[in-house]
Structure 1
């Protein structure tokens, strides 16, 4: 059986956000995992709610398995904790049990930053970026290449570099980024 993949698209005021980047990731994932060359046209399968803020959750493999529109409520994050792990999440799989287990094993924090081979990667829900006083940097080797991360890299708003736990003292701010929260600078954050 083919693995199920997940695409989460922000629907705001009747418009699917960042759709070209989601389309590119779906096409690449399907080509890599299933050798599927015929694209699924996301714009033709998404029925955009006209008002409100929604999380469009698409489950797919060689074809679309399901589409849900869920009202979006952001997660409150005030503490981050760095956790070493060898987890693999190169594709956005629908099965998030390994990521969820890492977070559940650390109930003393709101979210974790996954450290892999001595390098910081992502949280369980978002790519990360760090500000050094003049530029924003995101880890060169994320767990998952997020669509918003890709867009900001393409526009030159982010640069990549290897970032270790010891490097954190060189940064003044941390931000999380994903399709739903956008680029959220975390103020008054504690990193354990």
Structure 2
């Protein structure tokens, strides 16, 4: 079994979305590892010295295995290629990214891939997505990974869930990519930059 991970943003000495990371980690421990007790990531992370955006990577199985910190550098993304993979499964965030890396390699001249599973849009290789329909931001109902940023945006009513098929892309004008490290709105571009 590969270790599971949480990738957490630290900035200005503060852990972002801590409650969402704790929830996902403890759900994974309960559902996959049958661990009843909960862990609190705040007991393992030391955010005080980090002012710039920092990537905190926590590996765990039954318990916390390792906590690493690294400066974060945003990788620009302004184009996507649709790739189909009906058996794509990344329900639990782990160190095993082999399938995602293979799909990313199919991007050709685009910056990343947008993965289609069973006829529905899901995620890019590293981000959840939301599309602008002229009135609201819509995120795919069945992502590969239920991201912590996505969960917080849904809870705050900033995005809504819907099934989105590749043929539906014409209904949308813009796409945003986001994750625990990337703010909602930090990467945004026209859906015209999504190649079929």
TM-score by length of 1: 0.96
Q: Residue 32 of structure 2 aligns to a residue in which SS?
A: helix
Q: Give the Cα–Cα distance (whole angstroms) in 1 for the partners of residues 157 and 51 of structure 2.
A: 32
Match of 1:161 in 2: 162
Q: Give the Cα–Cα distance (whole angstroms) in 2 for the partners of residues 90 and 179 of structure 1.
A: 16
For structure 1, the 5+ residue unaligned runs are none
Given that 2:106 and 2:113 are in contact with CA atoms closer than 8 Å, whether structure 1 keeps it comes out as no
Match of 1:73 in 2: 73
Q: Residue 184 of structure 2 aligns to a residue in which SS?
A: strand
Q: Give the Cα–Cα distance (whole angstroms) in 1 for the partners of residues 40 and 160 of structure 2.
A: 30
Q: Give the Cα–Cα distance (whole angstroms) in 2 for the partners of residues 79 and 136 of structure 1.
A: 19
RMSD, aligned α-carbons: 1.2
For structure 2, the 5+ residue unaligned runs are none
Any idea what the Cα deviations from partners look like across 1:129-176, whole Å, max 9, x if unmatched? 001011111011110100011111111111111101110111111001
Match of 2:101 in 1: 100
Match of 2:151 in 1: 150
Q: How many residues are aligned here?
A: 191
Q: Give the Cα–Cα distance (whole angstroms) in 1 for the partners of residues 37 and 162 of structure 2.
A: 34
Q: CA deviation at 1:188?
A: 4.9
**Residue 9 (str. 1) matches residue 11 (str. 2):** no
Q: Give the Cα–Cα distance (whole angstroms) in 2 for the partners of residues 176 and 78 of structure 1.
A: 10
Q: Give the Cα–Cα distance (whole angstroms) in 2 for the partners of residues 173 and 78 of structure 1.
A: 11
Q: Give the Cα–Cα distance (whole angstroms) in 2 for the partners of residues 70 and 98 of structure 1.
A: 24
Q: Give the Cα–Cα distance (whole angstroms) in 2 for the partners of residues 129 and 7 of structure 1.
A: 21
**Residue 38 (str. 1) matches residue 44 (str. 2):** no
Q: Give the Cα–Cα distance (whole angstroms) in 2 for the partners of residues 107 and 68 of structure 1.
A: 32
Of the structure 1 ranges 181-190 and 88-97, higher mean CA displacement relative to structure 2 is found in 181-190
Match of 1:191 in 2: 194
Match of 1:82 in 2: 82
Q: Give the Cα–Cα distance (whole angstroms) in 2 for the partners of residues 16 and 128 of structure 1.
A: 22
TM-score by length of 2: 0.94
Of the structure 1 ranges 41-50 and 136-145, higher mean CA displacement relative to structure 2 is found in 41-50
Runs of at least 4 residues off by over 2 Å: none
